[in-house]
Every structure is written in structure tokens, then in C-alpha cells.
Amino acid sequence: MKLNWNSRHLTRSLLATAVAATVTVVAPAAIADGHGKGVTDDMILNDQASEEDVVSYGLGPRGQRFSTLTTINSENVGGMVPAWAFSMGGEKQRGQESQPLIHDGVMYVTGSYSRMWAIDVRTGEELWQYDHRLPDGILPCCDVVNRGAGLYADLVIFGTLDAGIVALDQKTGKVRWKTKIDDFKAGYSMTAAPLIVNGKVITGVSGGEFGVVGRVEARDAMTGDMVWQRPVLEGHMGHVWKDGAQQENGITGTTNETWPGDMWKTGGAATWLGGTYDPETNLVFFGTGNPAPWNAYLRPGDNLHSTSTVAINPDTGKIVWGYQYTPNDHWDYDGVNELISFNAKIGGEDVKAGGHADRNGFFYVLNRENGKLLNAFPFVDKITWASGIDLKTGRPIEADNRPGDPTASDDGKKGESIFAAPSFLGGKNWMPMAYSQDTGLFYVPSNEWGMDLWNEPITYKKGAAYLGAGFTISPLNDDYIGALRAFDPATGEKVWEYRNPAPLWGGVLTTAGNLVFTGTPEGYLKAFDAKTGEELWKFQTGSGIVSSPVTWTMDGEQYIAVASGWGGAVPLWGGEVAKRVKYLNQGGSVWVFKLPSS
């Protein structure tokens, strides 16, 4: 199955200039700030240690997805049973990638097509439902998914497919404020969960294949008013808003230092996965996507800050440091994957580190204070584009594995095709990994696949996809594609792995009960021994799991929750892989589990 982005998909796009969003306040805010009532900044910062709440994406702003709970553990998890299930209903199924949030006896979960529910966590009864009114012509790249919301004060805040942000009243589901990020007709959208830091909602943008400009923005969580905006591509001006007025806040980088001509003006690098926050360094970390177009012969140079992690001061919007994973990316190896903060002994020294499993197949350990590379190693079996990462320079040791220049071909229409691994869907895509403070290991959901890739001529045009490439994707093995792997970040040692026939496309949760949870497209939520990888429990949810599980306690019992609903990028762009899993059923439900009551 050959999929060519130019000729068969994403046939419409426009580029919009980054402008200040217009905020509509539908009802006056009932709370002047988030302190002292509802979800506070301190609650978000301490979310990982909280037992009765999950108030942030990632179980805390660091994104470790580690819970200190031990009631459900490797000795008794085999007895876990369903507590209740909730149907998302209707015909709007597709991929359900949301991570639930739990606060004050209520679960908040987003769904496909920019929907949200509030559910009574004791009974599974719906309290309210919000359906965002989506216009015709939205241009989401990779299914109509939403990955979750953020809680602050008495608000629940999430992004929408028409490139907006909506803040709802937690009790009623009524709109308190809403704002526009950008023009959805230009390819902008938002599927990531917002990051909330010190009273600010910090978000990125989607739309890298449309020639948009990746950026990070901060808004007042209570009003939606813009605080600052930081484009990540060099040459673009940042802005701050003071007393309602927009002021310039310095150009990102140096114009034309690593981008030729005007290519930086439509350079992609979408910040589509959202970010993490480290209170120790007071930095937010956002990954950036592929540069545009895919045809790298048109944009010689490193193309900063595409395929990178950028560290930004959340108070000022200034970039403190950046680290680029794939300079002059030719394979669509977005660098958007999360950077998880952790403290460890690396090379005999105690360091404030960050772990990142990139789509290009390498796992990176960075010093999160300055972005210096501490360690790098493969986390997938086959990587063709580079033989390794130079730990002194931080740059890849690139192999001769770039597709041919179409201008050098006989007809000038298609360059020489090459086979590259991983495929552009990545050694790891959006699905978040987890870090255990107990074992010191990262648990990485990875996939083994490759692609045939070729370049084609392309020029930027509003209303057209901006790629200049075609591809087919195929599995590398007959017996498995997905693999959940446990790695020691200090040594790069693979401690254990679980192989799965279909690709893994869901997030990971680890707990102090010596457990690791993740779901499979075949429909199973599974629990593994965190130290050995032994499968200890599984439950069939009826549809593929491509979401992130969470855990909390209530009335003295521990619960595990996960959304179920097959979809996402794999069935849309997976080529031969999509054929292999086409039998999987779509769905839309939330499942909650616990141990039987004594």
C-alpha cells in the first residue's frame, strides 16, 4: 500500500501568521486566582506524590508517570477486576488517546472530535458532557484525537481540533472562556494536553506538514489572556503582553544561520505534543517537529530548532537552551517526544538529567540545566540513518542513507528511493514512556518498522500539503512490531522487553508496587513486573488501547483507569502495517479496575 502525502493525503493547507489570540469570556470567573481553592499550583507540582488525585498530564509536570501507590502490587495484581466502564457513545469513535484526570470525586476525560466528559468516579455515572462545535474543513494530521486536559482552580482546560483552547467549569461543563490559537484552515490544530505552570496555560501548535511555524505560548489560566509567545524557528520574533499591549521579546536565534533564504518562514517544527516542566530549574521543555518540507535538499543547514528539545523560561518565554536530535532531518523524525526530568548518577556524578526517546531510534540523556548530552544509545534494533551519536559533539554519526535529490534524476520528478529504519512513525511516537524512581529504569513503548522513502519537487503554496516526499511503511519482523522495553539510562542496558504483534501506540504507567501498565491495539490492558518484565495480568477492553493509564486511591482502595478506542496514526499512515491490523475494532470507552473488596 503506497501512501504519497503529496498526491493522496493532506490536500489542503494554509499558513497563518502567528497572532495574538482573541479571547471570549462566556461567563465571569468565579475565582480571582487558583490559590486556596480548587486545583492549585502546589497541587500540580506535587501531583506525583498525591494519592487521591491525578490533576495533571503525566502524573506531575515532570512527566515521569510514576505513582508511589503500593496497594495494587506485583503480588496481588492478578486478582484485579473491573469496577465500572463508561461508554463514550455515539458514532464519533476513532482513536481515544486521552489520559484521564481525577479530582474531588470526578474524572475528566477527553475524547475524539474535541469532546469531554465529567464522570462520577464511584459509580461511572456521567455528570456532564461537552461537545465542541467543530467547523467543516479541519485538517488534523493523524486522526481526530485528543490526549487530555489540565485542571486549574475550578476549571478544566483542553485544546480543540479547530486550533482553539476551551476552559470549562468543572461542576457544570459550561464554557468559562475560550480562545483561538490560529487559523485551522492553515492546518493548525491542537491535540496535546496543556501544561499548567504557575497559573499559566502553556501550549504548542500542530500542523508541521502544512508549513506552519512551531511555537510555544503561555496564557493566563483564569482568563485565557496571552502572556507570551515564543516561535521556535530562528528568525521569528517572540512577543510578550503587558497591560494588554503586545511587545517584542527578541528574535529566536540568528536569521539565516542554519536556514537558507526564506525557508524559515514556512519551516514547520510544530510543537504538537505539548511539554513538561521541571521546578528545580524552572524550565519548560517542548519538543519540536520535523522541518518543512520533508525534501531536505531545499533547506540545506541544520534547520534550528526543528527536531529538537527547547528549554524555555516559563516566566519570560526566553529559550535557555536547545538540543537538536536530527540536524537537517530528511526522514520526518520529529523531536517532539517528551523530556522527562529525573535525578541520577551518570558517569559517576549526580546530575539533573532528562530522558528522551526520539523517533530517530536513539535514547538521549541530557543535562536539563544546560542541554549538554550525557549519554545516547539505541532503543530499537535497526537504525539505518546513523551509526551512533558522538557524545563529545552531541551530533549524530550519520550514515549514507538519505533519499536521492529529485533534481538529479532523469525526469526530475522523483529522486532515488532508499529504505530507512525506523520509519517516520518512529522508534517511539507520541505515546509517553515512564520512569520509575524505585528501579531507576525507563519503560519505553517502541516499534520495529522501516520505510521506503523518496523525494519529489515541491514549492510552498497556501492550500497544499508541503512535503516533497513519498513513502511506504513495512514491519521489520514477522512475529512482532511493538516492544515495551526497560532501559537503564546511565548504561544504556536493556533490562527486559515484552514483544507485541501489533504496534504499541499507548502510554505507560509505573508504580511503587513494582508494576508497569500499558495497553495494546489488540485491546488488552496489561501489567508487568517492573524488575523482570513478567506479564502478571491482562484484561480485554473490547477495542484497541492507544491511551495512557493512571492510578489513584479512593475510600482506601487503589484504582487503575484507561481509555479504550483504536485509532491514531497507524491505521491512517501505516501502509503494510495498517493492513496487518485492519481487523481491529474501533471503540470509545473508559475502564476502571481495582482489587475485589474484602
Residues taking part in catalysis? 332
CA distance 490 to 480: 28
Beta-bridge partner residues of 486: 443, 496
Tell me which residue of 156, 158, 37, 142 sits closest to 95, measured CA to CA.
142
Instruction: Tell me which residue of 380, 337, 62 sits closest to 323, measured CA to CA.
Output: 337
Task: Verify cis geometry, omega within 30 degrees of 0, for the bond prior to 422.
Answer: yes
Element (H, E) at 590: strand 589-594
Place of cell 473508559: 590
Cell representation of residue 167: 476552559
The alpha-helical segments, DSSP class H, found in 27-114 are: 41-45
**What SS3 string covers 427-481?**
CCCCCCCEECCCCCCEEEEEECEEEEEEECCCCCCCCCCCCCEEEEEEECCCCCC
Rounded Cα distance, 139 and 163, in Å: 10
On the CB side of 534, CA atoms within 13 Å amount to: 9
Whole-number Å distance between alpha carbons of 422 and 376: 16
> Cell for 110?
477527553
Paired residues of 126 in beta bridges = 119
Order of strands, sheet of 283-287, starting from the edge strand that comes earlier in the sequence: 275-278, 283-287, 308-312, 319-324
Alpha-carbon separation of residue 434 from 343, 483, 508 (angstroms):
14, 14, 6
3-state SS, 503-563, equals CCCCCEEEECCCEEEEECCCCEEEEEECCCCCEEEEEECCCCCCCCCEEEEECCEEEEEEE
Query: Distance (Å, rounded) from C-alpha 29 to C-alpha 384?
Result: 54
Q: What is the DSSP string of 36-53?
A: SSSB-HHHHHTGGG-SS-
Secondary structure (DSSP) of 164-218:
EEEEEETTT--EEEEEE-S-GGGT-B--SPPEEETTEEEE--B-GGGT-B-EEEE
- Amino acid, res. 193: A
Lookup: cell for 75: 503480588
* 572 phi, psi to nearest 5 deg: -85, -40
Is the separation of the CB atoms in 320 and 366 below 8 Å? no
What is the bridge-based pairing of β-strands 508-511 and 66-67?
parallel
Residue type, 595: L
